[in-house]
Amino acid sequence: MSKNELRRLCVFCGSSAGRHPGDAESAAAFLRLCVAQGTDIVYGGGSVGLMGVVADAALAAGGKVIGVIPEFLATRELRHDGLTELHVVSSMHTRKAMMADLADGFAALPGGLGTFEELFEVLTWAQLGLHRKPIGLLNSRGFFEGFLAQIDRAIQDGFCRPEHRELFVVDDDPARLLARMQSYQPPALPKWVTLSASDDVT
């Protein structure tokens, strides 16, 4: 099986550190592994919460970290000024587009509404065939179990296809998750324009 070359990995995670230290420890471990394998990091450019942990762990390991942050957040002193590169952009939409364009894959760590929104967007793009990049979920403390159950429910009720469950990989171990992302092969999906009206694509 071929290995995905993750030259740059886009990381989605919370601007809050959360209540469980294990989430930060797992995130830092994952980032150190990425850097050790030569992967640069792309993320939302913040200095607080798990976002700050992600950036600091990668930088401390000698990695290159590229931040992309909208101007309205940068001016609130939330931006990380110690990054390799920091792009200040005009909007959230521009931020997400740039992060996606820069990355060879995506990893979602614990987070809140923004993390969920970013994750669902890249999953939807993969579903529609707009990219074939690996998407990984770091399931620290079972954080994404509810998400997985909802996807399974949508498949059960006919709102998603079974193949959509294969659009991402999930693991609670940082090393296993990275290995699974590197060996990821996207599922064969029907072209959405050929689906009948009874087949849901979103």
Distances (CA, A) of 172 to 10, 32, 157: 18, 16, 27
Percent of the chain topping pLDDT 90:
87
Alpha carbons 181 and 113: distance in angstroms, whole number: 24
Q: Mind listing the pLDDT tens digit for each residue in 19-29?
A: 999 999 999 99
| Residue 1 pLDDT greater than 50, yes or no | no
Instruction: Judge contact between 68 and 87, C-beta under 8 A.
Output: yes
Instruction: Judge contact between 49 and 20, C-beta under 8 A.
Output: no
Nearest alpha-carbon partner for 56 in 41, 39, 77, 71: 41
The one-character DSSP state at 202 is -
Residue ranges and CATH numbers for the domains of the chain are 8-184 (3.40.50.450)
Q: Mind listing the pLDDT tens digit for each residue in 97-112?
A: 999 999 999 999 999 9
Query: How crowded is the C-beta side of 103, counted as CA atoms within 13 Å?
Result: 27
Instruction: Judge contact between 182 and 6, C-beta under 8 A.
Output: yes
Whole-model pTM: value is 0.91
The runs of H, that is alpha helices, within the chain are 21-36, 49-60, 71-73, 92-102, 113-127, 145-156, 174-182
For the segment 195-202, the average pLDDT, to the nearest whole number, is 50
pLDDT-derived band at 193 (thresholds 50, 70, 90) equals very low
Q: Which residues in 99-135 are b (16+ Cβ under 10 Å) and which e?
A: bbebbbbbbbbbbeebbeebbeebbebbbeeebebbb
Q: Which position has the higher pLDDT, 202 or 71?
A: 71
Instruction: Judge contact between 136 and 108, C-beta under 8 A.
Output: yes
Q: Mind listing the pLDDT tens digit for each residue in 33-59?
A: 999 999 999 999 999 999 999 999 999
pLDDT-derived band at 192 (thresholds 50, 70, 90) equals low
The one-character DSSP state at 46 is B
